[in-house]
Structure 1
Amino acid sequence: MARVDLRNSSRYWRDPRVPGLSCLVADFTSHDYAPHSHEGFVVAVTEAGGAEFKSRGRSDEAKTSTLLVFNPDEPHSGRMGWSRRWVYRGLYLTPPAIETLKTALGLETTAYFTRNSFHDPDLIDAFLGLHRILDEGDDPLEERELLLRSFGTLIRRHAAGEPGLAQPARDRVKAARIREIMRERHAEELTLEQMGAEVGLTPFQLIALFKRTTGLTPHAYLTQLRLKAAIAALDRGATIAAAALDAGFYDQSALTRHFKRAYGITPLQWVRAATG
């Protein structure tokens, strides 16, 4: 991903996989935002310190316990105020990204939020996790899954009125078909859109159905299949790098990260244990 350095040790980049989605990691020690607006949604999560912001004629605080959301074209301003440091992560969705999100979530209209700050620990953790995964940029399926889950949950919980998210069909046959596709094509770059289209579900419906019927998200289930394929390849004598690529992982480091997360050891430790 191309990065642009901003003042105060901040980074900004555009996600190449989602047109219209941009990310910012800001570490401010002195900065004031003049009144401004964005053409799309802004979601921001504070990691340390905080700031003051003004919107809708009132002032509020950006802090670690608060998720900030601004609607498209909604004027707001900000300043450091009481804090000597403000570290936060921001997500920016312009119209192309909003349309992608609406389609994937099954929304008929663009969501609207009547407040700018939400005290919702689960969502704060979800958006921090999403942003960090987008920063790493090495797992398209996980990125897409977390993007839809985070924004889908935000809209369900906090959007004004009835946003009209399509309800997932309770059909185990569809989940079984998706599992079959994953088993057959685990080494490919599968997308939620592709798999959902196979059974007539939106990506958001697919995530909900899969979690309900398997106890795992599509990404987690696919990762397990890939780990099993990598282990089989290692047991046949493949190198770790070859096993990673053959199983469908982005690279050797991705295999190692998921392997240790799942099993508590690295692939190298697995190989050494098997040959020792």
Structure 2
Amino acid sequence: MRRAWKDTPVARVDRHNTTRYWNAPGVDGLSCLHADFTTHDYAPHQHDAFVVAVTEHGGSEFKSRGRSDEARENVLLVFNPAEPHSGRMGWSKSWRYRSIYLTQPAIDQVMADLGIVRPAYFMRNVLADTDLIAAFARLHRSLDDGNDLLEERELLVASFGQLFVRHGDGTRSIPTVPRDEAAVSRVARRMASQHAQSGLSLNEMGLWVDMTPFQLIGLFKRTIGLTPHAYLTQLRLKAAIRQLKAGAPIADAALASGFYDQSALNRHFKRSFGITPLQYQRAGSVSPGR
């Protein structure tokens, strides 16, 4: 199982507070925390990392930059590396949240993916940005599932790219690309011929057209309306359908089409078509008379 690729999450449990912490695979220096607190207070501390946190339920009070503010479900929390802060439960009876930590190796990787030479600096810790809250929540859940390295990398690049562009100080020079039908066509053709390969990455696909991963994501979204990962998933689903029509077992169809395993095919098939591969296969075996 893919879970074995990453460090086993370290869980801490007491009667009032539960945490899980793990190092994510694929990007050195990227780690995650999922916490559910009812009594925990944070003493003043700092991280050698960018910290981005999304509140799922409840909230807390925190102090940073000499002022107090609140973690709530409708805001994104962002702390610069080495920025001191503390926290307490305050008004809320619970605080369940997800946080992502980028130490220097991961910061370097994100900067390379975005095509910039220095990271953003954030003048505020609390950002009211609904789209980014959803993006980072999805990124964290993908890192938690640990089933798709390409999806995780794409979500990482896209979410931090938008965070830097919208709210970072002095980093709006992240290079973008115009709508380019020829470039996206070249990438799409190569993706179609290599869709069954498990190691396709944003870096590799970007090299095909001399683009950074962030530029490639923007190109696909502007030209096709899908991200590279979503487009590749559709190619794999079409290949799986061909396999299923030919009578291949579902597990074999999944692997031959480029999916990690049968459960990955089931999940994407149901998400795209509303039915499972088994339902699709059974329907094809019913005689026209019935």
TM-score normalised per structure 2 = 0.93
- State the match for 2:3 in structure 1: none
For the structure 1 residues 169 and 201, does the alpha-carbon distance in structure 2 shift closer, same or farther, using more than 3 Å as the test? farther
The letter for the 2-side match of 1:129 is R
- What CA distance in whole angstroms lies between the structure 2 residues aligned with 1:173 and 1:254? 31
Question: Deviations 1:68-118 (Å, cap 9, x if unpaired)?
Answer: 000010000011111111000000000000000000001121110000000
Cα distance, 1:169 vs. partner?
A: 4.4
Question: Deviations 1:197-246 (Å, cap 9, x if unpaired)?
Answer: 11100000000011111111111110110000001011111100000011
The letter for the 1-side match of 2:261 is D
Aligned partners of 2:60 and 2:90 also within 8 Å: yes
Aligned partners of 2:61 and 2:69 also within 8 Å: yes
Secondary structure of the equivalent of 1:160? Answer: coil
Aligned partners of 1:109 and 1:163 also within 8 Å: no
- State the match for 1:157 in structure 2: 166
Q: Is residue 201 of structure 1 aligned with residue 207 of structure 2?
A: no
Cα distance, 1:163 vs. partner?
A: 3.9
Aligned partners of 1:169 and 1:205 also within 8 Å: no
Partner residue of 1:244 out of 242, 250, 254? 254
Identity over aligned residues, as a percent?
62
Partner residue of 1:227 out of 225, 237, 260? 237
Q: Is residue 131 of structure 1 aligned with residue 140 of structure 2?
A: yes
- State the match for 1:172 in structure 2: 181
- State the match for 1:181 in structure 2: 190
Cα distance, 1:171 vs. partner?
A: 2.6
Aligned partners of 1:186 and 1:248 also within 8 Å: yes
- State the match for 1:65 in structure 2: 74
- State the match for 1:109 in structure 2: 118
Partner residue of 1:262 out of 261, 272, 275? 272
- What CA distance in whole angstroms lies between the structure 2 residues aligned with 1:71 and 1:169? 31
Partner residue of 1:141 out of 150, 164, 178? 150
Partner residue of 1:253 out of 256, 260, 263? 263
- What CA distance in whole angstroms lies between the structure 2 residues aligned with 1:241 and 1:192? 26
- What CA distance in whole angstroms lies between the structure 2 residues aligned with 1:51 and 1:66? 12
- What CA distance in whole angstroms lies between the structure 1 residues aligned with 2:89 and 2:116? 36
The letter for the 1-side match of 2:219 is L
State the aligned residue count.
276
Secondary structure of the equivalent of 1:48? Answer: strand
Cα distance, 1:193 vs. partner?
A: 0.2
Q: Is residue 274 of structure 1 aligned with residue 284 of structure 2?
A: yes
**Unpaired segments ≥5 residues, structure 1:** none
The letter for the 2-side match of 1:194 is E
Aligned partners of 1:259 and 1:266 also within 8 Å: yes
Aligned partners of 2:119 and 2:171 also within 8 Å: no
- What CA distance in whole angstroms lies between the structure 2 residues aligned with 1:95 and 1:161? 19
Question: In angstroms, what is the RMSD of aligned CA positions?
Answer: 0.9
- What CA distance in whole angstroms lies between the structure 2 residues aligned with 1:259 and 1:170? 29
Aligned partners of 1:51 and 1:62 also within 8 Å: yes
Secondary structure of the equivalent of 1:176? Answer: helix
**Unpaired segments ≥5 residues, structure 2:** 1-5
Q: Which moved more, 1:7-16 or 1:47-56?
A: 7-16
The letter for the 2-side match of 1:234 is L
- What CA distance in whole angstroms lies between the structure 2 residues aligned with 1:169 and 1:98? 26
- What CA distance in whole angstroms lies between the structure 2 residues aligned with 1:123 and 1:170? 23
Aligned partners of 2:164 and 2:171 also within 8 Å: no
- State the match for 1:85 in structure 2: 94
